[in-house]
Amino acid sequence: MLNSQVEYDTIIPNNVSLSSDRRVLKALEKWHPGYIDWWKDLGPVGFQDMLVYLRTAINVDKDGWATFDYVKMPEYRWGILLAPQKEGRTIPFGDHIGEPVWQEVPGEYRSMLRRLIVIQGDTEPASIEQQRFLGSTAPSLYDMRNLFQVNVEEGRHLWAMVYLLQKYFGSDGREEANELLKRQSGSEDAPRMLGAFNESTPDWLSFFMFTAFTDRDGKMQLEALAQSGFDPLSRTCRFMLTEEAHHMFVGENGVRRVIKKTCEMMNKAGISDPFDIDKIRQLGVIDLPTIQKKINLHYSLSLDLFGSEISTNAANTYTAGVKGRFWETKIKDDHILKNDTYPILEFADQKIINKQAPALLSLNMRLRDDYTKDTAVSIKRWNRTIEEAKINFDIKLPFEGFNRKIGTFMSAHISPSGDVLTEGSWNKESNKYLPTKDDNLFIESLMTPVSEPGVYADWIAAPDLGIDNKPGDFEYVKIHDS
Ligand code: BYC
């Protein structure tokens, strides 16, 4: 293992020997003020002068990478940290299988790699922009701290991609790094690159859904890029994945706590019918059918992030050895896939058809299937909470063709259970499947901030455990004495 020492003598902590790489250090130092300006303009609104109990990555060793302390967000040390280099690593798939991994960008794959790194980089600041107003309605200091933790780490993930662009892609890499600070989530003129990253995150249930579903797309894409034959990209993604796990925990656990509180309040009030929505809302909690609608929305938006089911882009990046499959090295096949097929769904003549397609062209579909399997674990946990409360309601993932804007189902109208609908019946019924304006207004009406340590808003249960094993009344954000 090489390169696990972290340097602290530059303004950018790193384990890539930046102090002896003056060209890249200079380029990053030049980029830094623009980043700080962006963070102040488009990062979390308010709370910038307050001490937040954050973990900072200080090295990349398995046990010691996260230290917790009070930090003001703009002073968080956004470092460039790559997982240690594995000696003798070879390219695990595609036409170059078995060859030593590349430490420099191969000329013929330069634009392909740059495109993937730019898309990955673009999502990181986008998510911070989407979440920027949430601090002022946090349901507790614990949740506020988790939001800011996710935000600073997404900021660090942007740094990670910017490092790759600056170090390996010369002047066009520098231009791309600057553009990453210019596009803006939801902007008409210069939106973020992928659909879901231009949606708003107006309330905390949306935030939990986003971190449960969209951060999980992040996990899958990073796992696929971690297989890359371009070793610096692989190492960068491997380290990012260690941080990503907490983001999905925030989402899955957040949704679970919302469900738990709803069930508790229903039982307390003697309401057994989960569809008695008005009565349940009068208790000041979010009814389970509305939570299901939010799941339908965020899952379908996240499925679009995998691209089309049939994709020559995906086939090309795989064959080139640039982007692999989820846990590529654990799969038992030839890792070339030229003679293999994969089952896909296709929408044609208003019908859903099962087909076998060339495996190489179906790689987006395969990663998406792996994502769905991974997501099912959260659904199981949420249903366990409902079951424990003895309430008769089953949360389900909607059918993959429901509410899609990318791929074979983009022109289809399909219900969450997989029935093909006419446009007329979709227009009549979609408010049963997706959150309506009234649903959103109701959720927003609950978003009053709570800032007493150890106290939680009425619509969400307390977590089972504190962060870093802190006690229940720990002051995660020093909001009162800043
Ligand atoms: N929206 O062959 P196709 C994360 C474009 S999240 C808009 O179907 P391909 C995070 C596509 O770009 C993970 N456009 O798909 C989470 C292409 O355009 P061009 C982010 C879309 O290329 C939470 C055209 O349609 N990382 O980290 O095989 C918080 C045809 O493309 C969309 C990555 O995504 C869309 N949804 O796959 C913070 C990894 N989908 O080039 C962070 C890098 C497709 O013809 N990206 N298009 O103009 C990739 O691997 C691939 O670009 C994609 C698309 C998987 C996104």
**Percentage of the chain lying above the pLDDT 70 cut:** 98
- For residue 68, the cross-strand partners are 55
Q: Is the CB of 154 under 6 A from ligand 1?
A: yes
User: Residue 66: pLDDT above 80?
Assistant: no
Q: pLDDT tens, 162-171?
A: 999 999 999 9
153 ligand 1 Cβ < 6 A:
no
Q: What is the mean pLDDT of residues 180-206?
A: 96
Would you give the end-to-end CA distance of the chain in angstroms? 43
Give the least confident one: 43-52, 58-67, 77-86, 139-148: 58-67
Dist. CA 421–CA 222, nearest whole Å: 35
Residue nearest to atom 19 of ligand 1 (CA): 313
The CA distance from 99 to 225, in Å, is: 17
Task: Specify the pLDDT at position 63.
Answer: 62
212 lines ligand 1 (CB under 6 A): no
Closest CA to 252 of 298, 283, 191: 298
- Cα(180)–Cα(129) distance, integer angstroms: 12
Mutation to probe ligand 1, out of 313, 317, 318, 344 (largest number of atoms < 8 A from CB): 313
d(CA 146, CA 43): 15
Residue 60 is predicted with a pLDDT of 72
Does 218 sit in the ligand 1 pocket, CB within 6 Å? yes
Please give the Cα distance from 208 to 294 (Å, whole number): 10
Answer yes or no: are the C-beta atoms of 415 and 402 closer than 8 Å.
Answer: yes
Quickly list DSSP for 44-57. Answer: -SS-TTSEEEEEEE
Tokens 């490092």, residue located: 163
Asked whether 372 lines ligand 1 (CB < 6 A), one says no
- pLDDT grade for 139, boundaries at 50, 70 and 90: very high
* pLDDT at residue 1 in the model: 40
Mutate to test the pocket of ligand 1, among 300, 305, 326, 404 (most ligand atoms within 8 A of CB): 305
Q: What is the mean pLDDT of residues 369-386?
A: 98
Q: Answer yes or no: is the C-beta of 191 below 6 A from any ligand 1 atom.
A: no
Distance CA 91, CA 99 (A): 6
Helices (H), 169-287: 170-180, 204-209, 215-226, 231-269, 277-282
Provide the pLDDT for residue 453.
Answer: 96
Average pLDDT over residues 282-311: 98
Ligand 1 binding pocket includes 277 (Cβ within 6 Å): no
44-47 long-range Cβ contacts below 8 angstroms, 24+ apart = 44/73, 44/128, 44/131, 44/132, 44/134, 44/135, 44/147, 44/148, 44/151, 45/132, 45/133, 45/135, 45/136, 46/135, 46/136, 47/73, 47/135, 47/144, 47/148, 47/477, 47/479
Task: For the chain, give the mean pLDDT.
Answer: 95
Tokens coding 181: 């600070």
What pLDDT shows up at residue 65? 67
Identify the residue whose tokens are 């730019």: 118
Query: For residue 257, how far is its CA from the centre of ligand 1 (angstroms)?
Result: 31
Q: Rounded mean pLDDT of 171-176?
A: 96
Structure tokens at 87: 């000696």
For a pocket test of ligand 1, which of 116, 119, 199 has the largest count of ligand atoms closer than 8 A to its C-beta?
119
Helix (H) or strand (E) holding 116, with range, is helix 110-130
pLDDT digits (tens, 9 = 90+) for 317-366: 999 999 999 999 999 999 999 999 999 999 999 999 999 999 999 999 99
